[in-house]
Amino acid sequence: MKLTRTFTYCLTLFFISSIVYADNEMNIGHYVKISDDVNMFYQESGEGKTVLFIPGWTMSSDVFKSQIDYFSKKYRVIVIDPRSQGRSNITLENNNYVQHGIDLANFIDKLHLKNITLIGWSWGCYDAYAYIRLKGTDNIKAFACIDVSPKSSGTKNEWAYVNYDEWGKKFIQPTMYHRYEFAKTWAQAMVERPLQPNEVDWIVSQSMRTPTYAALELALDAIYSDYRQEVILLDQHHVPNLNFVSQIAYPNAKLWLEKNAPHSEIKTMGKHMMFWEYPDQFNHLLDEFLNKQTSSSR
């Protein structure tokens, strides 16, 4: 009975969010076939140099609404739903960040995107790092990563979320056994202020579009991923790189970047969903970074 109520609730949230989208944003929603099993959904608005946003674990392009509204006034803004997230096709297999990198490469090729700025949030940065591992940096004008370390697991003295042993208890088992309740707790943990019930419901509805099996596959892949060499490669190839990090992660992030990617910029503010909670401050800082690249010859 409890499972039935949870399913009905999540299905209702999905249809509500779909209706809201259709009413407010239907003019910028598109699909492109990137593989035999995936039609990728994306939002596009504005003209100019291409800035491509990638949402984090289980989330959709809708989380970047404030960034679309702001940056589309001067850039061509594209925001994707990775496979098994948002409105893109849900697949039974290949729910991992290596495949997300392949999907991103196919998406970029399909739309003939050149000299792009990539912006990832959380494990969405792993989509970008996997793309860099596959394709290199030649087509990237700049890169910004929002609050994720290139290696998710490590000790308390490393730039990482938690150690390997803690992931099961803190993240994997709650996702596996109590997905909906965990999603509500996770939503509040990503911001500083107390969320209103409708805000929690909205964030949860975004996440619950991804089936639990796919959410677990993505999480397990991220836990054991290591993209430190891709961050170093960006620095070595002089690709402008900006890391937004939450206040709690800042000390370790700063130490690691200064040692391994000294040309990278770093900004700290709020918690994990800073771009959503503080859009004006975030957009201003990101805009400053993008403005520096406008006259760049890269």
Pick the residue with more confidence: 86 or 6? 86
Total-model pTM: 0.90
Q: What is the DSSP letter of 141?
A: E
Longest dimension (CA), the chain: 61
Cα(67)–Cα(283) distance, integer angstroms: 7
* pLDDT of 234 higher than 90: yes
Averaged over 272-291, what is the pLDDT?
98
User: Has residue 298 got a pLDDT over 50?
Assistant: yes
Sorting pLDDT into bands at 50, 70 and 90, what band is 296? Answer: low
Helices (H), ranges, the chain? 2-25, 65-71, 97-110, 124-135, 164-167, 173-177, 179-189, 197-207, 212-223, 228-236, 250-260, 274-277, 279-294
Task: Please report the pLDDT score of residue 75 as a whole number.
Answer: 98
Cα separation, 19 vs 53, in Å, equals: 23
At residue 227 the predicted structure's pLDDT band, cuts being 50, 70 and 90, is very high
Comparing CA positions, the residue from 67, 21, 19 lying closest to residue 46 is: 67
Average pLDDT over residues 220-248: 97
pLDDT at 297: 55
The CA distance from 261 to 231, in Å, is: 7
Segment 240-271, tens digit of pLDDT: 999 999 999 999 999 999 999 999 999 999 99
Please give the pLDDT value at position 7: 46
Residue 57 contacts residue 215 (beta carbons within 8 Å) = yes
Averaged pLDDT, 146-171 = 89
Query: Domains of the chain by range and CATH?
Result: 2-294 (3.40.50.1820)
Q: Is 60 exceeded by the pLDDT of residue 4? A: no
